Structure formats: structure tokens, C-alpha cells
Copies of this chain bind each other. A is one copy, B any other.
């Protein structure tokens, strides 16, 4: 069975050596010294490794079952959920007023990666509750907040998001679910929603569904969509649970992975709902949480890649097969371990340099969310908004590829479910799809985010890369050659791609959109290049400062060097694809396919 080792030291390195969070001018950050974050990560790591990880395979094998309207989660899930609840984890970064611990989001993200890495399907139950609670926090009335948040933040009640219908996923303007106003101010919600993660289960007393629906007579399309709170059990005046509401789980989907999470078809039949936020502003309410939700999915891509990588390393050190081409390394054994072989190394280094770079990008993004929410930093908000589709799309595409590479290290055993490696691949696959498929992320990036506020944020990104180069050039020749030069080249490729869009996208937007996925990946590589340059700089500073853990910091620099030499050259390819424009992409009529 696969194991999971929480990446505590790595997260600490990023939080403290790279981001230096205690020095950031963000309310709450001053408290986050290494001892404090270390203690939290230790605790979260413990529960991840000891409680959640062993249930990962159980969830995959057993899945969820629906019988007489009741959904049963896999063996052990409910007990583990109780532990998560009792530990107060779901409320880590929620307001104290509603029972949370008011810690910054960056802390919640570092913890979230461990939960997700040890058991993605399980973590979605409280992850989605967090998202639903955030929506109520942002858009609810005081009465709604008082009514729902304490229970949801405690995870006594869980939450869901209901967007998709059978005929509309990305294009929510076609939504049909309707909400009829009632005399008492409530609504009767009717319609069918599909792909509802954690839609029904046996781990909480109540489930609070957030449902997008149309109020009859409203505007057509996306502008006539409102958001509703629809509890599974109605709530009495005294806060106790009342009658069962008109919402049922019609079926559980058979999926490629995340079997431990119940993906439900939800049928609403005159269910009582309560408007959340303003009428016809449902999409705005949903979009408030979009950055966080999408960053959370990017995190899943990273977390599955890291979990798979860890097990690939164990296997590569353990499995004896063949001899090193440069001479026997394990003379007492019948063969050398896999890890001596250059192509296995190449694969492990691909994985390692991705996951560590991705973790830095993720936590940097999370710190900008904090700066935006806690310090009203508009620049941080603009930049993280720009980077959100990159974090979601690039980290899940690449994260998936890394799970495939990790599985490949196992050879035939990787294809057998017993090794657990197939599950990482199958689970990671969903992250490329939900919360906006990655093609939609690319469209959001190129079609909206790039030009937002007059292109101010992408300019700020380029300035940041340039300043980093200027500030750090000349101190260390190897650093200049191995990090600053490749970063500069990659950043120039990204700028050239942006220039191409500007020059050609005006006359034909297809010239921009045909290169959108390539641009997202190009941007992602530049981000990871920047992260690696920053990490290498921090590691070098630590070494220069006489840090005791020399091996750790040297490993960081060597891993970064790999990324810059071996992964970053992808930017040139993406640029060439982008610059080839839309003509070859759009050449065929539909019937020529």
C-alpha cells in the first residue's frame, strides 16, 4: 500500500525562507513564526499520514453506495471525519466569530495540501463545505451567517455547490433549474443538478446545498441566475433540524477515480430555498470564491503528484533491476536499484522539480489571497487573479502528467491496482476538469485576465521577474548562469507570446485563443522558473548564512538547476506554437474532422 509523508520541511522552507511570511505586512502573518506553523503542520501531517492516507485505497476500492436514498461512505470515513472535525481543521482559516481559528489562508493551504495529498476524495467533503461557507460568509445576511456558519465551520453540517445541469456545464447561461418565490420570502427550487461532489452522504447531520437557479421572469442567460441556500433538513427557529426538504440524491455516478467521494445527481422538487445575495447576481456570488476554489484545485494537482512521487522514489530505491551503465553500484545484490538508471532519474527529477516548484507557486498565490483579503492589497488581488487560471490549469495538467510518470516508474506493477499508483493517476485526472476545465482556464487567462485593468497585472509580473534578475545579478556566477539567464529567456518567450496576442488578437481573436492552452503552460513554466530562482536564492542565502542543514539547501539548488535546464526550455516550444497562429487550427470545416 502506498505511504504518505507530509512535506513539512518543504512547506516551512517556502513559508519562511522564501516567502518570509512573518515579515510581510499582512494582518495575522506576524504570528506565523516557524515554531507556530511547524506545530500546525506537524499535527496536520500526523493526521494525514496516520488517519487519511490509510483510507485512500479503502475509499477507492469501496466507493460510495446509494440505497433507499441513503449514501454510505467507505469504511472508516465517518470516524476520520469526526477526527478532522474534532481537531477543528475545517475552521482553521475561518473567522473566530463563527467558531473558526482565523488563521491566514496560506496556512490553511499548506495544511490543505497534506490532507489532499493523503486522501483527495475524503478531503473534498470538508473542502467543499469550506467553499460553501465562504460564499455564505461573503454574501449572506447576518441572520444567515449566524444560522449556518457555526455548524458548517464545525462541519456538523457540510456544504455543496450545485452548478452543472445535464445540458450545461461551462455554459451556465442555459441553466433551467427554477426558483419560485413564496409569500414568506423563501423559494421553491425545482430541477436537476449533476456532478455534485459530496451531494449526499452519512458523515454530517445536515447538508447545506448552494444551488444556482432562475427566478421566473428574470433576464435570460447568465444574468438571470441567482444563488440559493437549500438545506437537506429544514432548520427550526431554535436551530434544531426540522422536516426533510425536497432534495434527494437520484444516483451516484460511476467515475474514473475519487471513488471515496459521492458524486451525485441531485433532484430538487419544490425544495425550500433561501436567496443568498442579490436576485440575479448568483454568478457574482459564485465568482467571489472562484480564485480560492481554483487555487484549491491546483493544489490537488500538486498534491497527487507529490504523493505519487514519494512512492515512486521508494520503489526506485527498493526495486532491483539491471545494472548502472557506469559500473555496478550494489555489488552484493543481484542487481542495482532502479534509481541508478538515468531515465528513471530523469523521471524522478521531473516529478521532484515540478512538485517543489508548484508548492512554492501555490503558497505564493495563497499569500497574495491573504494580502488581498486581509490587507486590501489591490495589486496582490490583481496578480493572484491573473495567476489563478495558471495555478489551476498548469498545476493540474502537469500534476496529472507527473502521476503518470510516477506510475511508469513501477513498470507493470504500476498498472496493477494493488500498487496504488493507478489511483493517483485516476484521482488526479478530475482536477483537470472540474472548477472550469483547463481549456476554460486558458480562455479565462488569455481572454480576460491578460487585459484586465489595462494589462497592469501581467506588466507587474514581468517587472517582478526583471527586478528579481536585477537585484540578484552578479553576486554568484553559477546562479546567474543556471537561474537568471534561463529565467530571462523564458520570460522573454512569455512576453513575445503576449505581444503576438496583442498584435494579432485584435483583428482575429482566434489568433489569441488558438494559443491559449500553450500560453497557460508557457506562463506556468515561467512562474515555476521564478519560484525556483527564488528558492535557489533563499537556499544559497541560508548556506551563506551558515545554515546547519547543508544537504537540504544543496538539494534545493540542484533540483532547481534541473528545472531550469530541463523543464524551462518548453517555453520556446509553446511560443512557436502560439506564433503559428490560428490558421492551421481553424482550417478545417466541422465535417472535415
Residues of A within 8 A of B (CB): 164, 167-171, 173-174, 194-195, 253-257, 313, 316-317, 320-322, 325-326, 334-335, 337, 339, 341-349, 352, 400, 404, 407-408, 411-418, 422, 425-426, 429-430, 432-434, 437-439, 442-443, 447, 508-510, 513-514, 516-517, 551, 555, 558-559, 561-562, 565-566, 569-570, 572-573, 576-577, 580, 582, 584-588, 590, 592-593
A349 touches B168 (CB 8 A): no
Q: Which 10 A-B pairs have the closest CB atoms?
A: A569-B576, A342-B513, A256-B422, A565-B580, A562-B584, A573-B573, A342-B514, A254-B417, A558-B587, A343-B439
Cα distance A582–B342 in the bound complex, in angstroms: 8
Residues of chain B lying within 8 A (CB to CB) of residue A352: 593
B587 touches A577 (CB 8 A): no
Q: A257's closest neighbor in chain B, by CB?
A: B415
A interface, over-half SS: helix
B425 touches A510 (CB 8 A): no
Q: A434's closest neighbor in chain B, by CB?
A: B412
Known A342-B586, A415-B429, A585-B566; contact A348-B593, beta-carbon cutoff 8 A: yes
Q: A430's closest neighbor in chain B, by CB?
A: B415
CB distance from A102 to the nearest CB of B (A): 35
Residues of chain B lying within 8 A (CB to CB) of residue A586: 342, 345
**Which of A337, A348, A416 has the most CB atoms of chain B within a 10 A radius of its CB?**
A416
The 27 listed contacts between A and B (C-beta, < 8 Å) are: A164-B412, A167-B320, A171-B322, A174-B335, A194-B412, A254-B417, A255-B422, A256-B422, A256-B425, A257-B415, A316-B593, A325-B510, A326-B508, A342-B514, A343-B439, A343-B517, A346-B585, A347-B439, A400-B404, A407-B429, A408-B437, A415-B433, A422-B429, A551-B592, A562-B585, A565-B577, A573-B573
B432 touches A408 (CB 8 A): yes
Known A254-B416, A254-B418; contact A168-B321, beta-carbon cutoff 8 A: yes
B195 touches A412 (CB 8 A): yes
Known A348-B593, A593-B313; contact A569-B577, beta-carbon cutoff 8 A: yes
What is the count of identical protomers in the complex?
2
Cα distance A194–B416 in the bound complex, in angstroms: 11
Contacting residue for A342 out of B414, B516, B551, B573, CB 8 A: B516
CB distance from A372 to the nearest CB of B (A): 28
Cα distance A407–B432 in the bound complex, in angstroms: 11
Cα distance A5–B169 in the bound complex, in angstroms: 28
A442 touches B343 (CB 8 A): yes
Cα distance A341–B582 in the bound complex, in angstroms: 11
Cα distance A580–B573 in the bound complex, in angstroms: 16
Residues of chain B lying within 8 A (CB to CB) of residue A516: 342-343
Residues of chain B lying within 8 A (CB to CB) of residue A411: 169-170, 433, 437
B433 touches A408 (CB 8 A): yes
Cα distance A241–B481 in the bound complex, in angstroms: 72
CB distance from A197 to the nearest CB of B (A): 11
B255 touches A585 (CB 8 A): no
Residues of chain B lying within 8 A (CB to CB) of residue A555: 588, 592
**Which of A348, A352, A439, A592 has the most CB atoms of chain B within a 10 A radius of its CB?**
A439
B510 touches A255 (CB 8 A): no
Contacting residue for A414 out of B334, B408, B433, B513, CB 8 A: B433
Cα distance A342–B555 in the bound complex, in angstroms: 42
B584 touches A576 (CB 8 A): no
**Which of A321, A413, A593 has the most CB atoms of chain B within a 10 A radius of its CB?**
A593
Sample of 5 more A-B contacts, CB < 8 Å, known A171-B322, A566-B577: A256-B415, A326-B508, A326-B509, A326-B510, A422-B429
A584 touches B558 (CB 8 A): yes
Cα distance A439–B316 in the bound complex, in angstroms: 14
B592 touches A321 (CB 8 A): no
Residues of chain B lying within 8 A (CB to CB) of residue A407: 429
A514 touches B345 (CB 8 A): yes
Cα distance A559–B588 in the bound complex, in angstroms: 8
CB distance from A424 to the nearest CB of B (A): 11
Residues of chain B lying within 8 A (CB to CB) of residue A418: 253-254
Cα distance A447–B323 in the bound complex, in angstroms: 14
Q: A576's closest neighbor in chain B, by CB?
A: B569
Residues of chain B lying within 8 A (CB to CB) of residue A326: 508-510
Q: A552's closest neighbor in chain B, by CB?
A: B592
Cα distance A254–B420 in the bound complex, in angstroms: 11
Cα distance A555–B337 in the bound complex, in angstroms: 50
Contacting residue for A573 out of B164, B425, B447, B572, CB 8 A: B572
CB distance from A428 to the nearest CB of B (A): 11
Q: A510's closest neighbor in chain B, by CB?
A: B342
B342 touches A585 (CB 8 A): yes
Cα distance A349–B586 in the bound complex, in angstroms: 9
CB distance from A27 to the nearest CB of B (A): 38
B439 touches A408 (CB 8 A): yes
Cα distance A339–B582 in the bound complex, in angstroms: 14
CB distance from A482 to the nearest CB of B (A): 9
**Which of A254, A400, A438, A585 has the most CB atoms of chain B within a 10 A radius of its CB?**
A585
CB distance from A349 to the nearest CB of B (A): 6
B592 touches A322 (CB 8 A): no
CB distance from A400 to the nearest CB of B (A): 8
